[in-house]
Amino acid sequence: MEFDGLLKLYNAPLDELLAQSRSLVSGDVELCALINAKNGRCGEDCRYCAQSSHYKTDIAEHPLVGVEDVVRVAKEARENGATRFAVVTSGRSPETLDKICEMIGAINSLGLKSCASLGILNEVQVQKLLMAGLSRYHHNINTSRSYYPSINTTHSFNDRINTCKLVKDAGMELCCGVIVGMGETIEQRVEMALELAEIAPHSIPFNILVPIVGTPFENYHDKINEEHILRTLAILKIANPKSIVRLCGGRGQRMSRETQQTALHTAAEGVLIGNMLTVVGGELCMTT
């Protein structure tokens, strides 16, 4: 679909828009969970992020956790219905992969599908993760190419795209999504959907900004409302009919139970459960 057509859909009556996206969802919901395996002290300057060392935020920093910690949290996630479990670390790139590869093996041994979000990767790192048995790699584009310089200056949009390409070229599944409510325009939300269509990820995590005190975006509480959250979810699904659109960070804080229900009926087929990094996850709304 071209930009003008998707923009026209975004601005169509909401019922019409949601009816079109509803026709593309299966009705099944995939649950995934994560462990925040390394928190804080990130040298990148993402303006929304509590973990950036450029800002003073009230988070508890910690180094890479042990494999036993990953196993414990992964077992809890499995008991709560998760079928995928991710290791997530702060920082531009992983400092070492040996311990993380042990974690991946441990997750797989529990019967869960392993995922990881470790930042920007090179080809050698991708191959090492592949050999360790990693099922899916998570690396968001976060926003549109045109808006990217407004949220980060320490790396480029192309740096992110390159990691996504390396992951897919290696034959690994890719999870790649966005954060909305960071001041982007409607047109830039449409750009996001089309840029993701070019990447063709298996899963699209959908996050809504929860402003963190101490970050440059701490006062961005009014940059998107629930109607436009639904509109954005719908065009993401329409532009990416083969991808699982997944409700992730901010859903508990920025979406009512009713809006979550609507999203799960009309556009989303996946949910991240449990603790969402430095934003506590809201109660899962799964009523059918």
Q: Which residues of the chain have pLDDT under 50?
A: 280-288
The pair of three-digit structure tokens given for residue 91, joined into one six-digit string: 């920082």
Q: Domain limits of the chain?
A: 3-272
* Cα separation, 217 vs 145, whole angstroms: 19
* Cα separation, 236 vs 3, whole angstroms: 12
Whether domain 3-272 has CATH 3.20.20.70: the reply is yes
CA dihedral of residues 262, 221, 248, 134 (deg, nearest 10): 150
* pLDDT at residue number 54: 80
Half-sphere exposure of 171 (CA within 13 A, CB side): 5
* pLDDT at residue number 283: 36
* pLDDT at residue number 139: 96
Q: Convert the pLDDT of each residue in 138-191 to its tens digit.
A: 999 999 999 999 999 999 999 999 999 999 999 999 999 999 999 999 999 999
In whole numbers, what is the pLDDT of the chain averaged over residues?
Answer: 91
The pair of three-digit structure tokens given for residue 181, joined into one six-digit string: 């409510």
Using alpha carbons, list the distances in angstroms from residue 250 to 46, 118, 210: 17, 21, 6
* pLDDT at residue number 282: 37
pTM assigned to the model: 0.93
* Cα separation, 145 vs 158, whole angstroms: 9
* Cα separation, 102 vs 71, whole angstroms: 11
* pLDDT at residue number 275: 58
* pLDDT at residue number 280: 41
* Cα separation, 85 vs 78, whole angstroms: 8
